[in-house]
Amino acid sequence: MTFPKVALFSVKNRLILASASPRRVDLLKQIGIVPDDILPADIDETPLRIKGRDELPRDLALRLAVSKAEAIAATHKGAYILAADTVVACGRRVLDKAESREDAQKHLSLLSGRRHHVYGAIALITPDGQTMSRVCDSVVKFKSLSPSEIAKYLESQEWQGKAGGYAIQGLAAAYIKFIQGSYSNVVGLSLYDTIRLLEGSGYSQA
């Protein structure tokens, strides 16, 4: 007795992006990855105090990315959960998202003529519950900004909600002397590290 052959089809992995950032969605599209769902994770992003000192910027970025992924994975089993967090820092000092003109002005004044680090952490939780993560460190240097240049940038409103008070993909690009490391990381997501994590986990869009 013979049985008809059954075609085998690969099952597309479900991918959830635990981020509200439209920049991360656009960056993923750039490398052909389209999340099935976008579910921002609502977590406390306050830095911890460890032995009387603030949490290191790199450690903060990693902890927040993993926490975001875990928050979504808790209610969405059997999917790949991708989360990220970006922390801009001068030394140990974390430059939060600029929520006001005053915040942005302080950030830009601090960054003027100096190098700073952009720590981009990426966390991936696989359908079987394994957590994988990476931290990308990009070094960015601003030119010395004049009061008129800072005022012009503040008028652009591009600083709103941006870590460090600037968006490298906008007008701020004219003020940046050099970048060491991943450009896409400064925008919001290291594409190189993201694709390495996804491929290493067995994720496939096919």
Pairing assessment for the beta strands 176-180 and 115-125 based on DSSP bridges: unpaired
Instruction: Say which of 36, 37, 42, 85 is annotated catalytic.
Output: 85
In three-state secondary structure terms, 200 is helix
Q: Beta partners for 176?
A: 142
Torsion from C-alpha of 164, 64, 45, 145, nearest 10 degrees: 0
Q: Other CB atoms closer than 10 Å to residue 169's CB: what's the count? A: 16
C-alpha torsion sign, points 150, 155, 159, 160 = positive
Q: Beta partners for 27?
A: none
Catalytic, 36? Answer no
Which residues 6+ apart lie within 8 Å of 190 measured at CB?
120, 122, 134, 136, 138, 182, 184
DSSP string, 18-42: ----HHHHHHHHHTT---SEE----
Give the residue numbers marked as catalytic. Answer: 85
